[in-house]
Each structure stands twice: as structure tokens, then as C-alpha cells.
Structure 1
Amino acid sequence: MNLPIIHRVKHTKTVQWQKPDDGWMKLNTDASVMKEGAGIGDVIQDPEGAAIVAFSHSIKKDNIHLLELDAIYHGLHQVVSKNLKKIWVEFDSMMAVKTIEGHFPCPWKRASTVEKIKNLLSKCETWKISHIWREGNGAADYLSKWNCPIKGEQCDNFPDDFSLILCNDASGTLYPRV
């Protein structure tokens, strides 16, 4: 049998955490559901990639889409409490982006959360939201699985693994996505 041999080449895509423009802050959020429970994590970074605020805490298990919305709300609450005016909100749930933008139906269980998110965004001078692949959302992903409160103002108290992620992001590390 003379069958043609087809070689498929896997192309590795890369993902990179992008720094916000001068005068802007960036909020990355994530939620995780694990065997032991669920958690959310949020990190606000300045244009140099330094963490201004970072936190993590346990949350009641639920649908991951609903938890992602909770994480965004929690992070935006921190943005407003810090009186940050120009904010770029980024997370790895395309469904949450589309829900907030009104392109995807809002689950009734979180309709009030989405309204609160929109209200918090309205308190900012300028804002934008975007999706990033999980590989580029490593700091928030790490915090969502850590489930231990930390304070962003005390950067020397961050775990080494978390600090390394922040350094890699700030230096423009390309993360592989296959």
C-alpha cells in the first residue's frame, strides 16, 4: 500500500502577560475549583509589574463561571477601595468577559454580581476588560489555588513561587501554550 504519510507539525503558541500603560493599573483575577474546595485570587500590578495588592481566599464551591465573576467583583472592590482610576481587568474566562460585555446571558445566580461589577467599573475614570489564556494569568491562578490571605503592601511576605511569577511577567517571559 502506497499511502501518503502526513506529518503534522505542532506549533507552540506563546502567551505573555502585558504590562499596563503608564498611569494604568492591571487587575488579574482567577477562580479555581479543586477537590478540597474553591478559591479566588486577585492581583493588581503597576506598569512595572510590581504587585500593589494581592489576595487569595477560600470560597464556597460553585460553577466555575460563577466563581470567576465573584473573583472579578472581589478584585474590582479592591480597585475602588484603593481609588485607582485607570484599570485594565484581565482574566482567563472568555465566558465572563462576554457576560460582562452583555454578549453572553448572565446566570440568574450572579445577575446582582454582574450589576455590582458594572457599578464598580463605573467608578473608574477609564477601564477595559480582556481575556488572557491561563498561561499568562499565572499570578492570579497561583493565588486562586493558594487559599491563604496575603497583603499586597507587604511584598516581602509573598511566597517565593508567587514572587517568581511576578518577576517573569514583568520581564516579558513567553509562556508556551500547546
Structure 2
Amino acid sequence: MTPLHCDGSLTANRASYGGIIRDDTGAAIMAFVGKGEDNSVLGMELFPILREVTLCIENGLHRVSFRSDSKLAEDILNGSVNYPWNMQVLKDRIISLLGQLQHKEIRHVWRELNQSADFVAAIDTGDEESIFYLPDLVELIKDDSYRKTNFRTPSH
């Protein structure tokens, strides 16, 4: 099962979200970060789950474990608590997409186990969402440490 960590970030100046998608061994394969449009803590905790579900479907990952440090977000999506009416549309979108997965679980993890997602969510990418494919980045960093010369291919 693919572990997915996500988090929202809300400061006085900015709302943002982010997450890390890992492979079955726990190695990070993708990260995403973007500017949020909801100025509520709960909205910014639920929105990265929506993005992760979407990215998983787009990338053929259908057996996933969502991990969030928001116990309330987990409880809302698992149907164990009532939630504010203004979260209904977001919750319904997530639940609808979750139905396209073969196996899924939504788990609460302590904040200390969600530090990578917290770090990513705080990156300021301006107004655009950014997606990083980490195996490529990890390989480039390793090549740099070995002083390997990489030649950029011309873009068309």
C-alpha cells in the first residue's frame, strides 16, 4: 500500500497545502505544494487530501494509505463526526474520488511523523501549484555530489 502524507499550512499571510507520495518501500516519489484558497485550518487540512487522491488516480496508484496530522479531517472522511456545513462540497469531492481506489485507508498520524509534509506545505511557490518528481531530483543531487556532468536536453 502506498503511504501518502499531507498537511495544510495557515499563517497570517498565506494559506498553503502540500504532501509527499511514497512508494511501497517508503521512498518518496512525488511531492506537491500549492497556495490554498480557503482561510480555514480544516479546509487547508482537507484540500491536500483531495489533491493526493487526484494525483494517485492520475498516476495509477490505487492502493493507498492517507496520513494526516489532522484527527478532525480523518474523522470527517471516515464518517465518525459531524462537520461544518461549509466543508460539505470538499468532503463530497474527496469521498467521490476515494471510490475510484481499490483500497484506501485514512489514518491520523502524530505531527512528529508528518514533518516532511509539513515542510513541503510551507514552501512558498507563489500562486501556482508545483509538483516535484523526487526520484529524478534525488538522482540529480547524487550526481552533483559525485561531480557528474549532466547536459541539458534542448526543449522544443
Question: What is the TM-score normalised by the length of structure 1?
Answer: 0.70
Say yes or no: does 1:87 pair with 2:69: no
Q: 1:112 to 1:32 in 2, by over 3 A?
A: same
Q: Give secondary structure in 2 for the equivalent of 1:151.
A: strand
The equivalent residue for 1:140 is: 117
Q: What's the Cα RMSD here?
A: 1.9
The equivalent residue for 1:115 is: 92
Q: Give secondary structure in 2 for the equivalent of 1:146.
A: coil
The equivalent residue for 1:151 is: 132
Q: Does the aligned pair in 2 maintain the 1:33–1:61 contact within 8 Å? A: no
Which amino acid counterpart does residue 104 of structure 2 have in structure 1? W
How far is 1:101 from its partner?
A: 1.1
Runs of 4+, deviation exceeding 4 Å:
none
The equivalent residue for 1:51 is: 28
Q: Does the aligned pair in 2 maintain the 1:56–1:144 contact within 8 Å? A: yes
CA distance in 1, matches of 2:138, 2:35: 19
CA distance in 1, matches of 2:57, 2:80: 25
How far is 1:137 from its partner?
A: 0.3
Which amino acid counterpart does residue 76 of structure 1 have in structure 2? V
How far is 1:60 from its partner?
A: 2.6
How big is each residue's C-alpha offset from its partner over 1:130-158, in whole Å with a ceiling of 9 and x where there is no partner?
Answer: 00011100111011101332422564179
Q: Does the aligned pair in 2 maintain the 1:32–1:40 contact within 8 Å? A: yes
Which amino acid counterpart does residue 151 of structure 1 have in structure 2? F
Q: Does the aligned pair in 2 maintain the 1:45–1:51 contact within 8 Å? A: yes
CA distance in 1, matches of 2:112, 2:134: 25
How far is 1:61 from its partner?
A: 4.7
Which of 92, 101, 107 is the aligned partner of 1:124? 101
Percentage identity across paired residues of the two chains = 26
How big is each residue's C-alpha offset from its partner over 1:12-59, in whole Å with a ceiling of 9 and x where there is no partner?
Answer: xxxxxxxxxxxx211111001113201100111012222222111111
Which of 16, 20, 32 is the aligned partner of 1:39? 16
How far is 1:106 from its partner?
A: 2.4
Q: Does the aligned pair in 1 maintain the 2:5–2:66 contact within 8 Å? A: yes
CA distance in 2, matches of 1:108, 1:74: 21
